[in-house]
Structure 1
């Protein structure tokens, strides 16, 4: 138990609280941010994935409970996602173990690196879709969209399998797929639905990881102690905080984390970060101009989906 009072445990607690806020705000970024953060703190990849999934099963329950009280999740949609994601998430936890024992850590880092880069691309694409939706003059209808069960179950299966291997995908792959499949679903319902379906998803993945790798209490307990109140706080303020700046920051962090997992040098990471910080705003400004709005202004309404009133 003395390990819980070390500086490393304190670092895990602080990082998990900050990432928990992002998860509560956006429904995105949990495993995609927490797992690489743990690895960069010196925790081996297998331990990072296993403990992050166990902690996420607790932390996401907090965020889901808050969104449930606001009536935002679409429960039928969440049910279809769960039908596909839960069994595939459990099976996914056995993949790295079956592929080889000696190279398991390096293999997991490689898979995680590509998953993070894919998550970064999906986040950026989601921002573009939202911008296009708003500038096209579309509005969110009061009724829920017609569901497409088979495609929804398939989305859950792919996202669940990826979560089982890397802990990445619940709030990135599944969210962007839902946005493409159900573009008229409001942002609050998207976040609420994703958080509700993510609870059984990460529980199934956590059970599989515990069976295969166990947990490390000095990592798990700080993750829960920091992540639960962070997720609760983020969920409470999600209706009043603009998510666009957060998502753009997530894109940069995920890109750098993915490159780091794939073995990029410090110099390469600095070049990537500098290019994204300098060229990113210019590229986004150009995209805004193609949609008929100024390249740079403070009109946050053009960066997010309108909420249902």
Structure 2
């Protein structure tokens, strides 16, 4: 029990609180930020993935419960995603265990998480562009629900489940962007509600698999939950006051640089790439916005608006 009152545990608490704020502000998955943060704090990658998944299963359950009460999830779509994601997510921990001893697992997870972070950064950037494209296309909510495509939806769940099961990264990024591509007329609130609902059994299955193979570290797990829950609540309260576009562009930069570092790219090159993204990124994004007929540096609008009900 005394392990909960160490400097390391306090560091995890502070970092999880900060990541929780970002999750609450943007709705983006915390695994892409929390897992590498734990690794940089000196926690073994396998333990970082296992404990982050257990904590995420608690936090996502709270968010899913809110959306369930308001009726926003598409239940059939969420169910098909679960069919694909749950078994593959459960297998993730055993796949990592089968890699070999702790040193081999550490190397495997470091590279796997680094690659997943770069992929996640790319999907976040794509999500921003898709949102922009729908905004400039009229962003009118259709009256009918989108037609469900069974096989592609299950495949999305399977790929996302495998990625989350191995690295804890992807439940709030890969699956969300894939749903945007497959169901472009799904409203933003239903998209988030559906993703949160399917993410609960997905993350829970991944967590159970890792607990069986790796176990949990209470000195890591308890600060994760105690810091992440109030951080997410605070971020949700602040979301209306902060520019979503700026935060998401910043997260893309952070994920890219973190992924490059975990893949072993020399620090000098990481710094150069980071400076280029920081300086040239806003200019490139402004150019894309202008090509879509929007002001270069204005905040993004919501992806869809409700239809005008006035006669």
Give the structure-1-normalised TM-score: 0.93
- Equivalent residue, structure 2, for 1:61: 61
Map residues 28-107 of structure 1 onto 2, 5 A cutoff: 28-101=28-101, 102-107=103-108
- Equivalent residue, structure 2, for 1:27: 27
**3-state SS of 1:185 partner:** coil
- Equivalent residue, structure 2, for 1:122: 123
- Equivalent residue, structure 2, for 1:146: 147
**3-state SS of 2:23 partner:** helix
- Equivalent residue, structure 1, for 2:265: 264
* Structure 1: gaps (5+ residues): none
Bigger shift: 222-231 or 207-216? 222-231
Per-residue CA deviation, residues 223-277 of structure 1 (Å, 9 max, x unaligned), is 0111122233445665776532221111011101101111123322221221111
> Is 2:15 aligned against 1:15?
yes
**3-state SS of 2:206 partner:** helix
Tell me the number of residue pairs that the alignment of Structure 1 and Structure 2 aligns.
306
* Structure 2: gaps (5+ residues): none
Q: Distance in 2 between matches of 1:165 and 1:9?
A: 24
- Equivalent residue, structure 2, for 1:175: 176
Per-residue CA deviation, residues 195-243 of structure 1 (Å, 9 max, x unaligned), is 1111111110000001111111110000011112223344566577653
Q: Distance in 2 between matches of 1:157 and 1:239?
A: 34
Q: Is the 8 A contact 1:112 1:166 kept in 2?
A: yes
- Equivalent residue, structure 2, for 1:137: 138
Q: Distance in 2 between matches of 1:26 and 1:233?
A: 12
Deviation of 1:110 after TM superposition, in Å, equals 0.4
- Equivalent residue, structure 2, for 1:285: 286
Map residues 177-196 of structure 1 onto 2, 5 A cutoff: 177-196=178-197
Deviation of 1:141 after TM superposition, in Å, equals 1.8
Deviation of 1:68 after TM superposition, in Å, equals 2.3
Q: Distance in 2 between matches of 1:307 and 1:188?
A: 11
Q: Is the 8 A contact 2:117 2:255 kept in 1?
A: yes
Deviation of 1:162 after TM superposition, in Å, equals 0.5
- Equivalent residue, structure 1, for 2:162: 161
> Is 2:303 aligned against 1:305?
yes
Deviation of 1:308 after TM superposition, in Å, equals 3.7
Alignment root-mean-square deviation, CA: 1.8
Q: Distance in 2 between matches of 1:110 and 1:202?
A: 21
Per-residue CA deviation, residues 53-94 of structure 1 (Å, 9 max, x unaligned), is 011111111111222233322222111111111001011221
Q: Is the 8 A contact 1:67 1:235 kept in 2?
A: no
Q: Distance in 2 between matches of 1:258 and 1:2?
A: 34
Q: Is the 8 A contact 2:139 2:304 kept in 1?
A: no
Q: Distance in 2 between matches of 1:187 and 1:276?
A: 28
Q: Tell me: CA distance 1:244–1:299, structure 2 relative to 1, closer, same or farther (3 Å).
A: closer
Q: Is the 8 A contact 1:16 1:227 kept in 2?
A: yes
Q: Distance in 2 between matches of 1:181 and 1:240?
A: 31
Q: Distance in 1 between matches of 2:216 and 2:116?
A: 23
Q: Is the 8 A contact 1:63 1:232 kept in 2?
A: no
Q: Is the 8 A contact 2:140 2:305 kept in 1?
A: no
